[in-house]
Every structure is written in structure tokens, then in C-alpha cells.
Amino acid sequence: MACRIAVFGTGYLGATHAACMAELGHEVLGVDIDQAKLDKLAAGEAPFYEPGLDDVLKANVDSGRLRFTSSYKEAADFADIHFIGVATPQKRGEFAADVTYVDSVVRTLAPLLTRPAVIFGKSTVPVGTAARLSALAHDIAPAGEAVEVAWNPEFLREGFAVKDTLHPDRIVLGVDTNRPGRAEEVAREVYGDIIAEGVPFVLTDRETAELVKSAANAFLATKISFINAMAEVCEAAGADVTQLADAIGYDNRIGRRFLNAGIGFGGGCLPKDIRAFMARAGELGANHALTFLREVDSINMRRRARMMEMTRDAVGGSLIGATVAILGAAFKPDSDDIRDSPALNIAGQIQLQGASVTVYDPKAIENSRRLFPTLDYASDMRGACKGADVTLVLTEWDEFRSLDPGYLDAVVRHRRIIDGRNCLDPAKWRGSGWSYRGMGRR
Ligand code: UDX
């Protein structure tokens, strides 16, 4: 049955969720305070690059099932099912998450709720947030305790956001187990089509649901840092981390996914989420449990430093006056997101050490220019590699993976390539007369 749903926040999470809920046949109102974003969305255009999202947005805006507004009043009148999908960034100068935006949705929305309603939080929050917001909503909503707060974490990956929302690995729902209310029934209605496909529905308490998300991201970050630690050992021992990952990955208990060594993880989630998780565990008196995540974080940051060293070595020991080409700025392929991007971070550091740096990325140039206006940008690979003493591949876009070395031969000054994502075929590059170096590879 079609539900009426409001989704607060129209960033990555919120815009995708709103569009996908409409795709499931619901009537959806997306709510944000940023009018420019709302105007774009209302025209059926995502304010960021995400494969397939524009089509879903456009189809559902055109059908009238998906609308956008800046009015909380309109949302409270329209729907009794509310999703929170606003950001929870890292606090300035601290590890902890800043939950101001999540709080502010509840503080603004709850006083307008005169009928029974369910608020589903999707944002990644410190454990305990749902219970706190629930008490707050009961206090300030005219409908009082008839307003329920449940937690329904989102696991979508950028680049696969639509698929991950419409065909998730699982749906997790945390409810107030002392007073379960209607949240489960409502969630089963909203996600009816997805559940019918056999997607597991994990019903739990709110604290566990909040922790599931933090734990999943901590595990993924740990897996990446594990293989990057192995890359350090492989480098020291003259071994090859890619073959090592393939070999251990055949063991089903380990699995090959998320074992790609390179310059490490970035983005708007993993780095800040592991830090927020450590901070929250500390507040709860369980800080020892997560001290290993500090190491996960430092291994990850060492990868960026290692890429600097390798670049310096490649150009003869000093970056001053060197010309460096950088292919890739986004934190991962199929995204224009540059939040905490290892690629862009390395580009900036190399420039600060005196090199002249030109960056090319298929989608992320505009965002990069805004963050790092002092770097040079090119509109294609050849432009970036012109006169390069060394070329670095820092995001594994298909365009770079399938690159024929001969395409760059005429423009570079020296045929040297460093593969920060271990995504190129060393034999192909070496066979074409290039010096190739990967990370943790012979
Ligand atoms: C992540 C989680 O995967 C997702 O479930 C959660 O909801 C949000 O955070 P995302 O940030 O989109 O998703 O990116 P992800 O695909 O997890 O990659 C994160 C970073 O790890 C990227 O910088 C990527 O390049 C890096 N990575 C990934 C590696 O360095 N090696 C790998 O093997 C995999």
C-alpha cells in the first residue's frame, strides 16, 4: 500500500532515500533548508553525481509522487512517517560526531506533530541518540508519546546508492523494546516490496541498531587497514600484496572484497565514523574495546605519507620543481565526492612540497577546484600528464584502468607511473617501457 512519507535532509542519503521510496510507489516529500538543492531536485536533478539517481528522481518527480519543500509544517501536515537523513559530521577538533542537524530536525518537527507518527532515524549516530531523541519528542510534540522514534540505519555505498537502497543486503530496525508501538508494522509496510524479495529484516532494540552501523563501518575500515598493513610488510619483504589478497581471499571466512591495498580509505563516512565510534565508546567507559581503531586510522593515514615518499623517490629525492600528474581526485570511482579524499589530500601535500601538480578526474574536478583552488586542473588525461615527471593514479576509474600506456607516451616527460590503487596491469605498463610501481607490490 502506498504510504505518505517525509524525508528530512536531501544530501546523499536523504535524496536517494526519498527518490527510492517514491520508486517503491509511496508519496514522498523531501525536506531541506537549502533552497538551491531543493530547486535542483524538483527539476529531477541530483545535486551530486550518482549513477542512475537522476533517472529515478526524474521519473518520480514527473509522476507527482516525489515533491520537495523547505516547510516542516507542510511535511507534518502531509505525512505520519518521517525519515531523518541529515549529516552527522565530525566535530571540529574532536573525534565525536556532531549530531546538531539530527537534533534540529526533531526540535523543529516534533512541535508540529499533532497526530500519532513514527520518526525513523537513518543517519549514523552515536549509540543512545535514538532514546534521547525519543524522550525529547515525547516532551515537545503535541501528540506526546504517540510520536515514536525508531532507528533504521542506512548502509548505502556511493556509486551504488540506488541499488543499495532498493535491493539492500538487509534492513535493520531498532525499536523501543519496552514500548514497541507501531514502528515495526509501519516499516514492514514501507519496505513491503523489498521484504517480499527475501531481504532479511533484522528487528532489534534501538541501541543495537545504532551500533550495527558503527560496527559495520568499523569492520570495513579495519579490513582495508589490515591489507594496507600487509602491504607495508610486503614492501619490506619484497612480496606482493595483491597476490597475497587474492590468495587469502579464496578463504570464504576472509573473502576478497575490501582487501584492495593502496592509498587507503576516505569519504564522508568511514574516517569520521570510526572516530565517532571511538569517542562514543570512551564516553560509555568502553574505550579499551576500540583502541585498535586508532591503529586502523593511523595505518590508513600512513598510506598517504607513503605515496608522498614514493613520489619523491620517483623524481630523484626532491619534489621541488617537479611536475606531477594526478589521475583521480574523488575518494572512489563513480563518485564526485571529495570529502576526505586520499587522492586530493595527496595532491595538495605534493604541491605544498614544491611540485607543480595537475589533476584530472572524470567527475570530481568542479568539487576539487572549490576545495583546492590552488591546484591546476586539466579537462582530460593528456592535459594532466603534459610534461609530467611522474604520473600517479589515485582513484581507480575505469578510464584509468583500461588506459593504454601509449596514449600518454607523447605528452609525459618521463614514463613513470605510480599506481596508488593497484588497479593497473604492471606487465602492460612495464612492457610499454614505463617504470611502474604499485603499493605493496614488487
Ligand atoms: C561506506 C560503506 O561501505 C557503506 O556501507 C556506508 O553506508 C557508508 O560508508 P562509501 O563511503 O560509499 O561507503 O565507500 P566504500 O565503498 O565503503 O569505500 C570507502 C573507501 O575505502 C574509499 O576511499 C575506497 O577507495 C576505499 N577502499 C575500499 C579501499 O581502499 N580498499 C578497498 O578494498 C575498498
Q: Which three cell numbers stand for residue 175?
A: 525499536
Region for residue 422 given its phi and psi (left: phi exceeds 0; alpha: psi -120 to 50; beta: otherwise): left
The DSSP output letter for 156 is P
* Residue 404 φ/ψ, nearest 5 degrees: -90, 120
Nearest CA to ligand 1 atom 5: 155
Ligand 1 centroid – CA 339 distance (Å):
12
Q: Does the pLDDT at position 82 exceed 90?
A: yes
Q: Does the pLDDT at position 1 exceed 90?
A: no
Beta strands across the sheet bearing 81-84? 66-69, 27-31, 4-8, 81-84, 117-121, 147-151, 171-175, 201-205
Ligand 1 centroid – CA 302 distance (Å):
17
Alpha-carbon distance 97 to 276, whole Å? Answer: 5
Stretch 45-64: mean pLDDT: 97
pLDDT at 289: 97
Q: What tens digit of pLDDT does each residue of 361-383 get?
A: 999 999 999 999 999 999 999 99
Ligand 1 centroid – CA 269 distance (Å):
8
Q: What tens digit of pLDDT does each residue of 281-334 get?
A: 999 999 899 999 999 999 999 999 999 999 999 999 999 999 999 999 999 999
pLDDT at 271: 97
Q: Which of 234, 269, 385, 423 is catalytic?
A: 269
Nearest CA to ligand 1 atom 31: 260
Domains by residue range for the chain, with CATH? 4-199 (3.40.50.720), 206-442 (3.40.50.720)
pLDDT at 248: 98
Ligand 1 centroid – CA 228 distance (Å):
14
Q: Does the pLDDT at position 183 exceed 90?
A: yes
Alpha-carbon distance 264 to 237, whole Å? Answer: 20
pLDDT at 398: 98
Q: Which three cell numbers stand for residue 200?
A: 532479511
What string of DSSP letters covers 371-436?
Answer: H-TTSEE-SSHHHHHTT-SEEEE-S--HHHHT--THHHHTT-SS-EEEETTS-S-HHHHHHTT-EE
- pLDDT averaged over every residue in the chain: 97
Q: Is the CB of 218 under 6 A from ligand 1?
A: no
**Ligand 1 mutation target, pool 16, 53, 124, 157, most atoms within 8 A of CB:** 157
Identify each DSSP E strand in 77-235 by its residue range. Answer: 81-84, 117-121, 147-151, 171-175, 201-205
Helices and strands per DSSP (H, E), number in the chain:
19, 14
pLDDT at 306: 98
Residue 3 annotated in active site: no
Alpha-carbon distance 12 to 331, whole Å? Answer: 15
Q: What does pTM read for this prediction?
A: 0.97
Stretch 220-246: mean pLDDT: 98
Alpha-carbon distance 148 to 179, whole Å? Answer: 9
The percentage of the chain sitting over the pLDDT mark of 70, rounded to a whole number, equals: 100
pLDDT at 246: 98
pLDDT at 66: 98
Q: How far apart are the first and last CA of the chain?
A: 58
